[in-house]
Amino acid sequence: MLNLWLGGANPRGRALLAGMLAVLAAAPFFVDSYIVSVLILVFYFAYLGQAWNIMMGFAGQLSLGHALYFGLGAYTGAALYVKFGLSPWLSMPVAIVIAMAVGAAIGALGFRFRIGGVYFALLTIAFAEFTRILFDHFTWVGGSSGLFLPVASRQGNDLWMLRGAPIMFYYVWLVLTVGLLILCRALLASRLGYYWLAIREDEPAAQALGIDTFRYKMIAVMLSAGLTAVAGVLNAFYFNVLFPEPTFSINRSIELILGAIIGGVGTLMGPIIGAFILTPLGESLTLIIEQIPTGVQKLDGLKQVFYGLCVVLIVLFQRAGVWPWLARKLRLGADGGKGGA
């Protein structure tokens, strides 16, 4: 029987999870602003990896264009704030609906015409790319010269308008990341979760058991897209600047799935663990590179090389990801990911 919240994890695992949460909740009071900014980046990757994992890890549908949903969320939130002064919390539902609609369109195209696997992934890349080009020429939201959110002049944190210090964003990200973990846990234990896993494992067999595979793949894509858009809105308010090129780029699409791949595709903790491993290492690397006097500053790509190396190592030595291996080593019990281990 699956316990909804903590099923699979033994007392050790629960204690560790609770401890980790407590440390993260208290962290901003003890560490400097740089560490807070790195942790925000960790949450960003953990959340997005988790959202992507619903589609790939649970339902087995590979998307390499999640920057599309992220970007749609970011631009929707930013534009509604800049043009109409709308709170991000009110624009979030709009962003979710838009991303879900686009996700549904891509899903319907791919699944209806039986474009599977790598070809489906190419379709997702294509949509992200041409949306990027579209936004380059979409002058209402700034086109290629970018969209800027006015930074509040007054002091203090305005949670309603998401104007304020990084610490406020830190907690918003933390709540969202934990919330998504709980949501995914509940999904996996539900009928929907079982159907997704069946489709991931063997689609014809799933269909023979009465599962309307088209419908449940569509739900996975739309849910994943909508959740990704939420991160887009939040990120836009955190950075206050949006350009089509970095927002919709394939780099972002790839970057946001690395944590999940390193941590363990299809597991609940994988995307989170992956983000905690990759981001601090990547950021330290950036710091180190900045110390090296090169004169021309042409070592920008080194972080990407490092990420690539991590993926290669994982694929070679621990294909299921770090988390299943770590969970075994620490004797934390099975991950709720059911067979993801």
Partner 1 sequence: MNLLEVDGIAKNFRGLRAVGGVSFAVPAGAIVALIGPNGAGKTTIFNLIAGVFPPDEGTVTFEGARLDGLRPDQVCRAGIARTFQLVRPFGGLSVEDNVVIGALRAAPSVEAAHATARRILERLGLWDRRHERAAALTLPDRKRLEVARALATGPRLLLLDEVMAGLRPTECDQMVEFFHEISRETGIAILLIEHVMRAVMALAGHIVVVHHGEKIAEGAPADVVRDPAVLECYLGEEAI
Q: Which parts of this chain interact with partner 1 (CB under 8 A)?
A: 1-2, 189-191, 194-195, 197-198, 200-202, 204-213, 338-340
Cα 142 to Cα 79: distance, rounded to the nearest angstrom: 9
Instruction: DSSP letter for 148, please.
Output: E
Query: Please, what is the minimum distance in Å from the beta carbon of residue 314 to partner 1?
Result: 18
Cα distances from 339 to residues 36, 152, 201, 272, 334, in angstroms, run 34, 48, 10, 18, 9
Q: Which is nearer to partner 1, 6 or 27 (CB)?
A: 6
Cα 73 to Cα 231: distance, rounded to the nearest angstrom: 7
Q: Which is nearer to partner 1, 1 or 316 (CB)?
A: 1
Backbone dihedral angles phi then psi of residue 147, each to the nearest 5 degrees: -120, 130
Q: Which is nearer to partner 1, 198 or 234 (CB)?
A: 198
Query: Please, what is the minimum distance in Å from the beta carbon of residue 53 to partner 1?
Result: 15
Q: What is the DSSP string of 171-215?
A: HHHHHHHHHHHHHHHHHHHSHHHHHHHHHHH-HHHHHHTT--HHH
Q: Which is nearer to partner 1, 163 or 338 (CB)?
A: 338
3-class DSSP state of 243: coil
In the block, which residue shows the tokens 């993260």? 24
Backbone dihedral angles phi then psi of residue 33, each to the nearest 5 degrees: -65, -25
Q: Which is nearer to partner 1, 133 or 315 (CB)?
A: 315
Cα 66 to Cα 250: distance, rounded to the nearest angstrom: 9
Cα 291 to Cα 210: distance, rounded to the nearest angstrom: 60
Query: Please, what is the minimum distance in Å from the beta carbon of residue 318 to partner 1?
Result: 16
CA atoms within 13 A on the CB side of 69: 34
Q: Which is nearer to partner 1, 158 or 202 (CB)?
A: 202
Query: Please, what is the minimum distance in Å from the beta carbon of residue 192 to partner 1?
Result: 10
Query: Please, what is the minimum distance in Å from the beta carbon of residue 151 to partner 1?
Result: 48
Query: Please, what is the minimum distance in Å from the beta carbon of residue 333 to partner 1?
Result: 12
Q: Which is nearer to partner 1, 252 or 338 (CB)?
A: 338
Query: Please, what is the minimum distance in Å from the beta carbon of residue 269 to partner 1?
Result: 17
